[in-house]
Structure 1
Amino acid sequence: MYAAISPSDPAPGITASPAAQRAKGSGQISFKPAEGGVTRLDRLYQQGCAKIRLPKVYGSKASEAVLINSSGGLTGGDEMSWDITCGSATSALATTQACEKLYKSNGGTARVETRISVADGARFDWLPQETILFDRSALDRSLMVELEGSARFLAVEAVLLGRLAMGETSLNTCFKDHWQIRRNGKLIHTDTLRLEGQTDLVGNRAATLSGNLSFATLCYAGPDDDETLSHLVDEARTLIASEPDCTGGASAVGGKLLIRLLAPQGMLLRRTLIPLISLLRAGEPLPRVWTT
């Protein structure tokens, strides 16, 4: 008896390696106003490794969502998406349970897409914890935001290049990050970052990271007048200057405030980030997961 072997079949006696399982997750959440100015959950959907938890928030009428990647990290071919909607007169924030880790990719790129919609009179803060890039990691990430009317929005993203405690001061990575923020359909902020190659070669240049191993961007957009934004810029610059090991700058233009930070290690970066986030949140405390 003869058996036909197609070109895609393994040779006799050789077991084909199974395709590696990839992590995929999708989470959707929306908020609505409730009696007494409190923000409540409207709808929640979660699929795959994307999980959303809503911890009890004390001393605030805002709602808090903690986003969780139950796969424990991302590698090449993994896909995550988050979709967040804030109704009128709501106040909410989203953070992550822990730092997101990007592990070595054996092929392909991890993709993370976040879409946020904030209605007129609402406020939403996007406050994920740091992203840690490992050697030979590959990540393509996007943040798309739609604001209406007088909506307020704060976004923070921090990136750590390797683990300093493990002696990782140089790694090969491919990191792409793209932001777009629109108000009433008009583009008010766009930001595209691409870091590719050996970090000690690319990042040592003065025009890039000046040898630092961590960096962050903060962007606040609201209906504030120029005088208010100018005051916030002055306060932000004072906070940055108070940390001698952290380099950064702050500016305001077109109804938004933008801050860039560089630091030699993640702890120094976070030490500067926390007071800056509190400043842009008008003194509101950070999510508990940031400090525990």
Structure 2
Amino acid sequence: MAGLELGFVRHGADTLLQTNRHQGPLRLQRPLYPEPGVCHAVILHPPGGVVGGDRLEIRAAIEKEAAVLVTTPGATKFYRSGGALATQVNHLQLDDGGCLEWLPQETIVYPGAHAATTTRIRLAADAVCMAWEVLCLGLPACGQPFMDGHFTASLEIDRRDRPLLRDRLRITGAADLNRPAGLRGHTVTATMVATGVSQKMLAALREQLAEKAGDVLTGATLMEDLLVVRCLGNCSARAKAIFQGIWSCLRPLLCGRSACVPRIWET
């Protein structure tokens, strides 16, 4: 069991880390301030991988008017299991005027893994959130496709206790990867969400996807003001590049700030 509880508050023009409690091998690198008013936080899991029976739990509270960008230094890896389930649960709470950018590196699910991830996002009325998840199933470059194992990914988004999105992906071996109603033979599936998006923004993003996606299958949907973008492909770097382009376009419109790429992405 490893846990991390974070709390961020607005103090003048800055966002400060107020709460930082951890249990087990889960840590937060010291707060970084590469741009005014936003706290960049890098979550570290020193073991580098998650095995059967492990549970990671992250809680982040973004208080009124605070602005936080959270990322990771590398991929999260769920290793082969002898049968026990490995889990990661993220609880993200945003108060009025809070802004959270939840932008982790990819998750790699090894063949034979038994794993589940859940991300729950709770929004106040005018909170802004951009988040993504990039999933890589198996190790096809090493000749190890996801032929066996189980993986479930759940995403829940509520605003003022009213559900905005309930999304669940379940993969059980190669059959689900290859079904037409599954991943159509692809090994990378990715989802990005953003609140506060308008129809005009959606039209521009669809044009951008048509131009930049290439052979990656993409789609963008707007539910009220919640944008959901999905990618299917075979390269996590391509999916992340597409999402980073969307993030760079939306950030000035939703957060009032130009894109500031975390330094850890370039190392």
More displaced stretch, 204-213 vs 250-259 = 204-213
User: Larger radius of gyration, structure 1 or 2?
Assistant: 1
Give the aligned partner of residue 91 of structure 1: 67
Please show how residues 13-24 of structure 1 align to structure 2 within 5 Å: 24=1
Please show how residues 210-229 of structure 1 align to structure 2 within 5 Å: 210-222=184-196, 229=198
Match of 1:139 among 115, 119, 131: 115
Please show how residues 141-160 of structure 1 align to structure 2 within 5 Å: 141-160=117-136
Which TM-score applies when normalising by structure 2? 0.92
Counterparts of 2:216 and 2:158, CA distance in 1: 30
Contact 1:81 1:112 in 2 (8 A): yes
Give the aligned partner of residue 39 of structure 2: 63
Contact 2:35 2:260 in 1 (8 A): no
Please show how residues 1-292 of structure 1 align to structure 2 within 5 Å: 24-35=1-12, 37-198=13-174, 201-222=175-196, 229-241=198-210, 242-282=212-252, 283-292=258-267
Secondary structure at the counterpart of residue 203 of structure 1: helix
Contact 2:178 2:186 in 1 (8 A): yes
Secondary structure at the counterpart of residue 182 of structure 1: strand
How many residue pairs get matched?
A: 261
Give the aligned partner of residue 255 of structure 2: none
Q: What amino acid is aligned across from residue 232 of structure 1 in structure 2?
A: M
Secondary structure at the counterpart of residue 53 of structure 2: coil
Contact 2:110 2:146 in 1 (8 A): no
Q: For structure 1, which runs of at least 5 residues remain unmatched after alignment?
A: 1-23
More displaced stretch, 278-287 vs 188-197 = 278-287
What is the RMSD computed on CA atoms of the aligned residues? Answer: 1.5
More displaced stretch, 57-66 vs 183-192 = 57-66
Counterparts of 1:221 and 1:172, CA distance in 2: 36
Contact 1:240 1:247 in 2 (8 A): no
Runs ≥4 residues deviating over 6 A: none
Contact 1:32 1:86 in 2 (8 A): yes
Q: For structure 2, which runs of at least 5 residues remain unmatched after alignment?
A: 253-257
Residue deviations 1:58-96 (CA, integer Å, cap 9, x gap): 233200111111222011100100000011011102111
